Structure 1
């Protein structure tokens, strides 16, 4: 079993319901949910929208490999109505967004998957919920704890 940390976000429809449904699907398809942060409201990041986000972080124990995990996450997003992924840094409104933040202490940089998520250190809507459930988690590229990264981020 590997501990993975996922970031969840929704800015369309019933956002709270979308997050709860995604967590149920994660339990069914990915593994046991170990911890879940509170839900945090945030403004859109990287694009303009009238719709604010609701975000959370979740820790899951899984037996899935990183790429199979990514495939399952993408299936969940599609089942929940996500029709397009963000491409080339162009973001859009979405019913659900599930990002792999950490997969154990692995560093993966491939065409399909980047872990740790490369923008964690820039996104307060990711780092704050993550700090709630895993303040002592070490970010493997910097060697810093999530608490330290949270204290360093510009809010």
Structure 2
């Protein structure tokens, strides 16, 4: 439990910290730099990254491309809600140049992709946010880095 002093108040308020596991992938531009910049932004916008996997180079999954991916997984401590984490990851993606999300079920090359895999033991089932990630167990490029950092 983290305690924070509220501005203009002498009262201390408990802030619940959550563990959120995320996968990252990039196959456009300076892939390794994009991953590192995304991790830095996660630390700044979501919360400190407490675990980080090694980088893994993989073939594209779900579509054809000559560009291979660099993948990684991180665990961050956050006081944000799952919705706030999603909004932050989408902001990071836009900042790093991602313009196209796969809304039609088709995957595309991208400078960065960040997916929320797990948020504590919470289950979320909303149209644009499902936790645990519904396809993570089908994807070795997610499972291998995740296995390095999960408790």
TM (normalized to structure 1)?
Answer: 0.85
Q: Which runs of 5+ in 2 are unaligned?
A: 1-16
Distance 1:71 1:126 in 2: 21
Runs of 4+ in 1 over 6 A off after TM superposition: none
Correspondence 1:6-45 to 2 at 5 A = 6-45=22-61
Tell me the CA shift for residue 29 of structure 1: 0.4
CA deviation map 1:14-45 (0-9, x unaligned):
11000000011001100011100000011000
Question: RMSD in angstroms over aligned alpha carbons?
Answer: 0.7
Corresponding residue for residue 91 of structure 1: 107
Alignment partners' CA distance in 1, 2:141 and 2:104 = 20
- For residues 86 and 56 of structure 1, what CA distance do their matches in structure 2 show? 20
Query: Which residues in structure 2 correspond to 1:43-122 (within 5 Å)?
Result: 43-122=59-138
Give, in whole Å, the separation in 2 of the partners of 1:2 and 1:97.
22
The structure with the larger Rg is 2
Residue 31 of structure 1 aligns to a residue in which SS? coil
- 1:86 shift after superposition: 1.2
* Count of residues in correspondence between the two structures: 135
Query: Cα distance, 1:112 vs. partner?
Result: 1.8
Listed one character per residue, the Cα deviations across residues 80-126 of structure 1 (whole Å, up to 9, x for unaligned) are: 10001112421000000000000110111111200000001100000
Q: Deviations over 1:65-85 (max 9, x none)?
A: 010110011011001100011
> What is the TM-score with the length of structure 2 in the denominator?
0.88
Normalized per residue, the structure richer in strand is 2
